A and B are shown apart, each in its own frame.
Chain A
Amino acid sequence: MNQALALIVVVPMVGAAVAALLPAGRGPWLLATAISWYMLAAAAMLAGQAMDLGMLSYAMGGWEPPYGVEYRLDPANALLALLIAGLAAVVLPFAGPSLANEVPIEKSPWLYAALLLFLAGQMGIAVSGDAFNIFVFLEISSLATYTLIALGRNRRALTASFSYLIMGTVGATFFLIGVGLLYAMTGTLNMADLAARIPEVASSRTVHTAYAFIVVGVCLKLALFPLHLWLPNAYTYAPSAVTALLAATATKVAIYLLIRFIWTVFGIDFSINEMPTVQLLVPLAIVGLLSTSVVAIGQDKIKRMLAYSSVAQIGYMVLGIGMATELGLTAALLHLFNHALMKGALFMALGCIAYRLGTSKLDAFRGLGRRMPWTMAAFVAGGLSLIGVPLTVGFISKWYLVLAAIELGWWPVVAVIIVGSLLAIVYIWRVVEVAYLQRADDESRCEAPLSLLVPTWILVLTNFWFGIDTRLTIGMAERAAALLAGAGP
């Protein structure tokens, strides 16, 4: 039995309680950073073992699965666990100076308690193999998220948090209804056990209803168009470091849940043949990625522009899932990982700008290419990755998505992917033009401090690293897709 599989969730959860008791100041931040590094080390070790052994399992409290709660790690969620822990380990060092600037210092114990609870919840969803346990972790991380968003300086952060709370709770409750109906039909909550028992009752209307509730509930959480309305405001008004962490991990975890339920729990045969999964997901993904890209072009607040771009990128991932082929799934998993890297880097660059200028309005970007050269270079590099320029991670995942579409002979979808990238060029170029080609009234240099620049650039460089050396990401994504598609390792 592997204790690290339980500790990776328990340590941040206990850490949250400890952080809340620490005196205000740098203490809670240092504790949270240390825990995020521990999580990264543990996730890397566990991912290595999961790749070697194929599957790790931990029985909570010594109760044998399927009776007790089982934590289970295979290549699919190992990739996700690595992503959550990795991004947390990069964003938390950044969060210290950035949040100290945006949130009153006396709130720091509770702030980092909420951040750690958020991480515990996300990691819990990633490693848990129990459907009800996932609901509880979903709510733990969501409640922490609502609190973190409400800490934004603008009073609109409060209304953004409130509407996210309403929609997020509806999503989680839908998920709970689905889990309850599945339990009524199969008498189990363990996901591997559910997968074994659902085929016997697959033709029942209760299972169909359960599928509908779970898919819609999870799609609310992952902000699939047209259920994305909570996302732009939530990302825009949350503190910068919180936005970076949310954009990089929160929706990705929900995407993983969607993949897990469609492919493993219900089984892809059921999802495609009994339910209109492809007919539902593919059109919504296409309409979503085109329309939100267009909306992104018209935004004056760059943070909001990137938020709309996030909804568009989620469209790519759902498109990969909707293709319902192994290659499509590989592309979705790759984009899940890669998008976290690029959006994390972009929102952190915006955090650097907010640190100096206190805004992310387009007007404020005038002349920033000269005033904050390193920050703007990071923004441009992240933007190139978002567009999908070769040598960046964005290119790799879009390449796989195009390959998956060609494999199916879906030529119009290939065109949609390319148009989406062209639209990304337009909205990134707007920023680049203002920053480099327009002159500012005040030309003084105001580069962000190193404590912010270094984490930002680490993430930017990973964008290029995984864009050139793709063995780790593609290897894991292919293994995961093969496992989920049932071919086995």
Chain B
Amino acid sequence: MSFFAHYNYHIAIILAMIGFYTMISRTNLVKKIIGLNVFQVSVFILFISIGVLEGGTVPILREGYELYSNPLPHVLILTAIVVGVAMTALALALAIRIHEAYGTVEEDEIHAQDDEPGAQ
């Protein structure tokens, strides 16, 4: 089994690590959201890869075809994408509110404002 036989799984892992690292290392809230998105997309790719069958065709019953891809993971991922969109929308809305309240979306500047004496 060569490295490239499962390249889609490798891409999923690489994307997940890129997203995860972005989320941990960046202090900008919007960049954190982008990292989170990349991380989620990697999971979508993982799920879609599971459904693929070598030599399989689209899952529509038709004469002359025996082998079909599994449609269930794709359906699951449609749901997960919707969840991801809702999450992104909420995160961005929070980022806007944070910008209104603090005047910045940089985490260290927000902490600095919170730590100031007199800040409640």
Q: Which 5 pairs show the lowest CB-CB distances between chains A and B?
A: A155-B101, A184-B50, A139-B83, A158-B98, A162-B94
Contact B87 A169 (CB under 8 A): yes
A136 adjacent to chain B (CB < 8 Å): yes
Interface of chain A, helix or strand or loop or mixed? Answer: helix
Most buried by A among B90, B97, B98, B102: B90
CA distance A176 to B83 in the complex (A): 12
The answer to the question of B2 belonging to the interface, with a C-beta cut-off of 8 Å to chain A, is no
* Residue of B with least CB distance to A180: B47
- What is the CA–CA distance of A121 and B47 in the complex, to the nearest angstrom? 23
15 further A-B pairs in the complex, CB-CB below 8 A; given A158-B97, A165-B91 = A132-B79, A135-B80, A146-B94, A150-B94, A162-B94, A165-B87, A165-B94, A166-B91, A173-B40, A173-B43, A176-B43, A176-B80, A177-B46, A183-B73, A184-B50
Indicate with 1 or 0, residue by residue over A158-176, a CB within 8 angstroms of chain B CB atoms.
Answer: 1101100110011001001
Contacts A139-B87, A162-B95, A177-B43 given; does A156 touch B79 at CB 8 Å: no
Show 10 A/B contacts (Cβ-Cβ < 8 Å), sorted by A: A155-B101, A158-B98, A158-B101, A165-B87, A166-B23, A166-B36, A166-B91, A170-B39, A180-B43, A184-B50
Chain A interface: which size bin?
20 to 34
Cβ-based interface call for B25 (8 A): no
Residues of A within 8 A of B83 (CB): 136, 139
The CA of A321 and the CA of B80, in the complex, are separated in Å by 30
Report Cα–Cα, A132/B43, bound state, in Å: 14
Instruction: Give complex CA distance A180, B12 in Å.
Output: 13
A135 to chain B, nearest CB (A): 8
Decide if A161 touches B94 in the complex (CB within 8 Å): yes
Q: B90 contacts which chain A residues (CB < 8 A)?
A: 143, 146-147, 165
The verdict on A154 contacting chain B, using a C-beta distance below 8 Å, is: yes
What residues on B are CB-neighbors of A136 within 8 Å? Answer: 79, 83
Q: Given A136-B79, A180-B43, A183-B73, does the pair A159, B98 have CB atoms closer than 8 Å?
A: yes
